[in-house]
C-alpha cells in the first residue's frame, strides 16, 4: 500500500508544510524524500488545483450535486448501495473507536452513502458526511476521494496533504471500487477529523473494497460462478478469483483477482469466452457444477492456456450457485447421474482416466465415452480472407 512514512507527528507535519511551501509558494518540484516514496500523486493533484486557478486559502463550500444528478446516481448505483450496506456497517463497527467514519462515493466523487460514528455537532463532519455532497477534486481539491478516483489505487492522505487549508483538519484512507466489468464504480473513504494518523486504515479500506467487489460479482445472477485459486489454497475466501459465465460460457463478470489472473480481461468490458481461458471444453465447467450439486464434490484442478494450473469450484445460478442436493438429484436422469459420477472420479484423479476407471470399476473406454470428445489444441481464431482473394 502507499502509506505515509512512519515519522514522529511533528516531523511528519513539518515535512508536509515544507512540501506545500515548495510547490504552492516557490513553484519547485518535490524531491521524493519530502512526502515519501510513491507519493508523487499528491504533488500532481496540487498542481492540477493550481492550474485551475485555485488558492489554498480559499474557502471550501462542500457543494451539493444538483437533485437530478443525485437521483440519477442513486438509480445507477442501486445495486452497489444494496451490496455495500452490510459491509459498510461492519466497517463502521471496526473503526468506531478511532474517530473515523466511512464514506461511499460514485465514480464522480459524489457521496452516495455514509456510515459510522459521526459527530453531528461538529460542522466539519456535517460538511462532508452528507449524501449528495460533491467531493471531487474540482470541488474540494486534493483528497483521498479524488486521489483514489484519479490514481485508481489505495491512498492515504494526512492533514496538510489536502490542497485547501479548510480541509487540512481531515485524515483519509481511500480505495477505488471496480465493477464486474472492470470499470471504476466509485470509492470507499475512511475519514477522521483532527484524529491520530492511521495509515493502516488504507489496508482496511482496500480489503473492504475488495469484499464489496466480490459481492457484486456473486450478485450478478450468472448462469455459472467460478471460484479459482492456486492448488493448495482453500477456496471460499475473499482472495479467490471470481468469474461469472453466461449460458453460452462467455465471461460476463470478474473481480480484480480474476482480471490479474486472466490477461484477456485486462481491458474494461472485454468480451472473452471460457474456451480462450481454460484448456478444457467449457462444458466441463457446467458438468462440474452439476456434479457438485449432486455429489457435494470438492474442487477440480485444471490448466489454463497460459500453462498455469488452478483449482476451481463451479456453482450454478442461485445463492452463490448452490442448489438443494436432493432436489438437484431428483431432476437428473440415470444417464446424467452416471456422467456426473464419472466426472467426479476423473476430477478426483486429477484427469488420470486410468485411475478414475479403476476407482469406478469400469474400463477406460467407458470413461472416455462418458467424457465425450475433449479439445486437444488451443482454439484458433478464424483468419479474415484478404480482400480480392477467394
pLDDT at 293: 77
Count CB-CB contacts under 10 A for residue 135.
Answer: 27
pLDDT at 118: 93
pLDDT at 382: 47
pLDDT at 220: 83
Instruction: Specify whether the CB–CB gap between 325 and 331 falls below 8 A.
Output: no
pLDDT at 363: 85
Taking alpha carbons only, the member of 97, 100, 58, 130 closest to residue 194 is: 100
pLDDT at 333: 63
pLDDT at 10: 74
pLDDT at 318: 60
DSSP class of residue 134?
B
pLDDT at 389: 47
pLDDT at 34: 82
pTM of the model: 0.80
pLDDT at 378: 52
Taking alpha carbons only, the member of 125, 122, 105 closest to residue 189 is: 105
The whole-number mean pLDDT for each consecutive block of 10 residues of the chain, a chain of 390 residues, reads: 52 91 92 80 95 96 95 96 96 94 97 94 94 96 95 95 96 97 96 95 97 94 95 93 97 96 89 95 89 78 94 77 46 66 76 79 80 57 48
pLDDT at 2: 47
- CA dist., res. 14 & res. 158, Å (int): 12
Q: Point out which residues pair with 155 in neighbouring strands.
A: 174
Instruction: Specify whether the CB–CB gap between 265 and 182 falls below 8 A.
Output: yes
Q: What is the dihedral of CA 249, 251, 257, 261, to 10 degrees?
A: 70
- CA dist., res. 256 & res. 266, Å (int): 9
3.30.50.10, 3.30.450.40, 1.20.1440.230, 1.10.8.10: CATH of 9-217: 3.30.450.40
pLDDT at 332: 55
Instruction: Specify whether the CB–CB gap between 320 and 219 falls below 8 A.
Output: no
Q: Point out which residues pair with 224 in neighbouring strands.
A: 245, 316
Amino acid at each position: 500500500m502507499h502509506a505515509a512514512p512512519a515519522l514522529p507527528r511533528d516531523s511528519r507535519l513539518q515535512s508536509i508544510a515544507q512540501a506545500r511551501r515548495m510547490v504552492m509558494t516557490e513553484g519547485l518540484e518535490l524531491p521524493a524524500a519530502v512526502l515519501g516514496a510513491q507519493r508523487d500523486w499528491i504533488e500532481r493533484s496540487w498542481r492540477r488545483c493550481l492550474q485551475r486557478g485555485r488558492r489554498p486559502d480559499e474557502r471550501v463550500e462542500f457543494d451539493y450535486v444538483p437533485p437530478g444528478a443525485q437521483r440519477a446516481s442513486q438509480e445507477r448505483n442501486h445495486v452497489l448501495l444494496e451490496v455495500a450496506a452490510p459491509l459498510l456497517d461492519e466497517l463502521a463497527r471496526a473503526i468506531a473507536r478511532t474517530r473515523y467514519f466511512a464514506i461511499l462515493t460514485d465514480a464522480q466523487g459524489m457521496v452516495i452513502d455514509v456510515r459510522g460514528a459521526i459527530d453531528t455537532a461538529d460542522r466539519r463532519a456535517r460538511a462532508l458526511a452528507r449524501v449528495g455532497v460533491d467531493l471531487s477534486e474540482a470541488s474540494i481539491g486534493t483528497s483521498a476521494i479524488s486521489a483514489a478516483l484519479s490514481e485508481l489505487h489505495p491512498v492515504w492522505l494526512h492533514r496538510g496533504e489536502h490542497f485547501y487549508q479548510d480541509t487540512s483538519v481531515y485524515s483519509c484512507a481511500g480505495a477505488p471500487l471496480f465493477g464486474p466489468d472492470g470499470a471504476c464504480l466509485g470509492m470507499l473513504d475512511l475519514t477522521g477529523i483532527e484524529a491520530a494518523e492511521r495509515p493502516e486504515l488504507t489496508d482496511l479500506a482496500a480489503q473492504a473494497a475488495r469484499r464489496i467487489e466480490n459481492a457484486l460479482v456473486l450478485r450478478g445472477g450468472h448462469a455459472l460462478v467460478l471460484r479459482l485459486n492456486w492448488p493448495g489454497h482453500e477456496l471460499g475466501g475473499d482472495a479467490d478469483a471470481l468469474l461469472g459465465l453466461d449460458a453460452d460460457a462467455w465471461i460476463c463478470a470478474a473481480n480484480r483477482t480474476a482480471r490479474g489472473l486472466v490477461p484477456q480481461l485486462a481491458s474494461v468490458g472485454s468480451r472473452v469466452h471460457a474456451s480462450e481461458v481454460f484448456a478444457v471444453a467449457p462444458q466441463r465447467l457446467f458438468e462440474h457444477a452439476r456434479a457438485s450439486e449432486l455429489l457435494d464434490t470438492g474442487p477440480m484442478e485444471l490448466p489454463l492456456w497460459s500453462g498455469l494450473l488452478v483449482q476451481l469450484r463451479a456453482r450454478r445460478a442461485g445463492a452463490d450457485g448452490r442448489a438443494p442436493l436432493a432436489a438437484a438429484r431428483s431432476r437428473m436422469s440415470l444417464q446424467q447421474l452416471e456422467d456426473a459420477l464419472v466426472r467426479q472420479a476423473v476430477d478426483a484423479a486429477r484427469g488420470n482416466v486410468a485411475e478414475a476407471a479403476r476407482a469406478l470399476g469400469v474400463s477406460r473406454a467407458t470413461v472416455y465415452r462418458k467424457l465425450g470428445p475433449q479439445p486437444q489444441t488451443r482454439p484458433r481464431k478464424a483468419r479474415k480472407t484478404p480482400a480480392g482473394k477467394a
